[in-house]
């Protein structure tokens, strides 16, 4: 856990304050996420930044989704100086910077429903067990053109997977997003067009879970800003278009020792594909809790429009080495110790990465603690198996709706422990409200299909 206001923290605060003065930055954006993962910010005068570092910035928590009721609304933002970055899209004359923040109560205690704090607590639990959680998300998204007169948005290109078209709009936009992200200190590794029209993927270098969650939030911000400046919309909506692939956020995961010198997922034994027992138990934990963590990993009604067979999205709780149809895959890392990892394929980028990484880690740690057997890898295409074949192998499916996922989530002691009572109850309340809003709608499909027939 971070030692708030220790010597290293104060040194970093001094460095950031000096940089703000040198760059003549007049306003500082204090940023954080709500329960849904939506980025929030407040701009404060840079003249007050030293005081804000020391005493925090008050705000109304009752107006933030998943935070506090109106009768307990007072909250305090404390900027994390390690997240300082100058916004690259602002001109020198109107320069601005951002700082991600931790949420405190007026009693100067961490707010227990702050998503960033929930992840920090889970990371501390892993540290106490002897592990450091390293992860990297593959962020998929669509770039679309908004229609006039209330019509539906449309993709801005006609490209497909890995396609190259000279002058392709998305090629230039991906480069602009990557350059913008690197201005925030994010090292981009891969950028390419995805399967569907208008769909893209940009991946950045792995890191410790909190840093990776901060970067995921920043990447989404960069994508939206760059697209908006070009007159388009970047969306991480899981399934914006019927009949084509949706956007996911596959997460690569591994556990390391405290000083980051040993990958605990690696084994010298080639019989299990150089995968250690710790890695197998970690996978076993995520499979065991897969249905109960699904509401966090896929937190919108639309998320479950993506999680259907036939569009490269995982549906069944199984694992494999090369096969991409199960929930968890172990990529071929060629026996390289540092590359041993597993990849969970169901999360989407529309959720809150702090909560997503927290529940992934909690489920994996539970598997390690209890030495959970993940079963044999399933190298056959699970989509082509009959119900009887899957039943014989003990392969169950993910929930088919947010309602089903929330019902599973609500019964999980591990989820209540990981999120804490406040966030657990707030999440359930907020997401059940979202489900009610969705299920009460009458769609055009229903009208067109039934109004004349029934």
Strand partners, 190: 203
From the list 236, 141, 213, the residue with the least C-alpha distance to 359 is 213
Distance from C-alpha of 21 to C-alpha of 240, rounded to nearest angstrom:
44
Residue 433 designated active-site: no
Distance from C-alpha of 247 to C-alpha of 197, rounded to nearest angstrom:
12
Single out the catalytic residue among 345, 348, 366, 408. Answer: 345
- Other CB atoms within 10 Å distance of the CB of residue 11: 11
Distance from C-alpha of 142 to C-alpha of 50, rounded to nearest angstrom:
40
3-state DSSP assignment of residue 204: strand
Distance from C-alpha of 101 to C-alpha of 216, rounded to nearest angstrom:
15
Length of the chain: 454
Single out the catalytic residue among 11, 15, 54, 60. Answer: 60
Residue 422: its H or E element: helix 421-439
| DSSP string over 370-394 | TT----S---S-GGGS-HHHHHHHT
Give how far the C-alpha of residue 179 lies from the chain's centroid of Cα atoms, to the nearest Å. 21
Single out the catalytic residue among 194, 214, 348, 366. Answer: 194
Half-sphere exposure of 401 (CA within 13 A, CB side): 9
Single out the catalytic residue among 175, 324, 393, 432. Answer: 324
Single out the catalytic residue among 120, 201, 203, 348. Answer: 201
- Can you state the angle between helices 353-369 and 115-128, rounded to 10 degrees? 20
Q: Are 76 and 104 in contact (CB under 8 A)?
A: yes
- Helix (H), strand (E) counts: the chain: 14, 16
Single out the catalytic residue among 120, 140, 157, 171. Answer: 140
Single out the catalytic residue among 174, 250, 252, 329. Answer: 250
Residue 60 designated active-site: yes
Computed on alpha carbons and rounded to an integer, the radius of gyration of the chain in Å comes to 22
Residue 434 designated active-site: no
Residue 345 designated active-site: yes
Distance from C-alpha of 324 to C-alpha of 202, rounded to nearest angstrom:
20
Please report, for residues 194, 318, 327, 389, 392, the alpha-carbon distance to residue 381 in angstroms, rounded to integers and kept in the order given: 22, 11, 12, 11, 15
Residue 348 designated active-site: no
Residue 194 designated active-site: yes
Single out the catalytic residue among 120, 138, 171, 214. Answer: 138
Residue 140 designated active-site: yes
Residue 343 designated active-site: yes
From the list 376, 438, 435, the residue with the least C-alpha distance to 406 is 435
- Other CB atoms within 10 Å distance of the CB of residue 102: 19
Phi and psi of 335, rounded to 5°?
Answer: 75, 10
Residue 274 designated active-site: no
Give how far the C-alpha of residue 311 lies from the chain's centroid of Cα atoms, to the nearest Å. 20
Single out the catalytic residue among 102, 176, 203, 343. Answer: 343
Catalytic residues: 60, 138, 140, 194, 201, 250, 324, 343, 345
């Amino acid at each position: 856990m971070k030692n708030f206001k220790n010597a290293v923290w104060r040194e970093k605060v001094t460095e950031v304050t000096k940089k703000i003065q040198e760059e003549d930055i007049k306003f500082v954006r204090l940023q954080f996420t709500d329960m849904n993962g939506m980025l929030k910010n407040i701009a404060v005068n840079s003249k007050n930044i030293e005081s804000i570092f020391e005493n925090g910035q008050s705000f109304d928590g009752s107006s933030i989704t998943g935070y506090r009721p109106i009768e307990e609304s007072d909250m305090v933002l404390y900027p994390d100086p390690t997240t300082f970055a100058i916004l690259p899209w602002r001109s020198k004359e109107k320069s601005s910077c951002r700082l991600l923040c931790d949420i405190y109560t007026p009693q100067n205690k961490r707010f227990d429903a702050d998503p960033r704090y929930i992840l920090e607590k889970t990371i501390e639990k892993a540290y106490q067990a002897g592990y450091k959680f390293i992860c990297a998300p593959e962020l998929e998204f669509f770039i679309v053109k908004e229609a006039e007169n209330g019509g539906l948005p449309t993709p801005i290109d006609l490209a497909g997977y890995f396609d190259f078209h000279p002058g392709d709009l998305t090629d230039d936009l991906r480069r602009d997003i990557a350059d913008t992200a690197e201005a925030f200190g994010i090292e981009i590794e891969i950028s390419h067009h995805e399967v569907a029209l208008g769909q893209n993927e940009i991946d950045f270098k792995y890191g410790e879970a909190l840093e990776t969650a901060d970067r995921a939030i920043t990447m989404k911000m960069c994508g939206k800003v760059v697209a908006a400046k070009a007159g388009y919309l970047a969306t991480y909506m899981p399934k914006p278009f019927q009949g084509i692939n949706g956007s996911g956020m596959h997460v690569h995961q591994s556990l390391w020792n405290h000083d980051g010198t040993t990958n605990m997922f690696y084994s010298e034994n080639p019989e299990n594909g150089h995968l250690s027992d710790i890695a197998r138990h970690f996978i076993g934990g995520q499979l065991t809790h897969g249905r109960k963590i699904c509401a966090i990993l896929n937190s919108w009604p639309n998320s479950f429009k993506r999680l259907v067979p036939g569009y490269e999205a995982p549906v069944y709780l199984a694992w494999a080495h090369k096969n991409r149809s199960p929930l968890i895959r172990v990529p071929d890392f060629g026996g390289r110790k540092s590359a041993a990892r597993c990849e969970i394929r169901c999360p989407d980028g529309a959720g809150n990465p702090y909560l997503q990484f927290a529940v992934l880690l909690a489920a994996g740690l539970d598997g390690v603690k209890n030495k959970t057997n993940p079963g044999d890898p399933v190298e056959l295409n699970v989509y082509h198996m009959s119900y009887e074949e899957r039943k014989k192998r003990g392969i169950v499916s993910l929930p088919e709706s947010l309602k089903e996922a929330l019902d599973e989530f609500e019964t999980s002691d591990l989820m209540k422990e990981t999120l804490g009572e406040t966030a657990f109850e707030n999440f359930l309340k907020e997401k059940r409200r979202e489900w009610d809003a969705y299920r009460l709608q009458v769609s055009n499909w229903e009208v067109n299909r039934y109004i004349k027939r029934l």
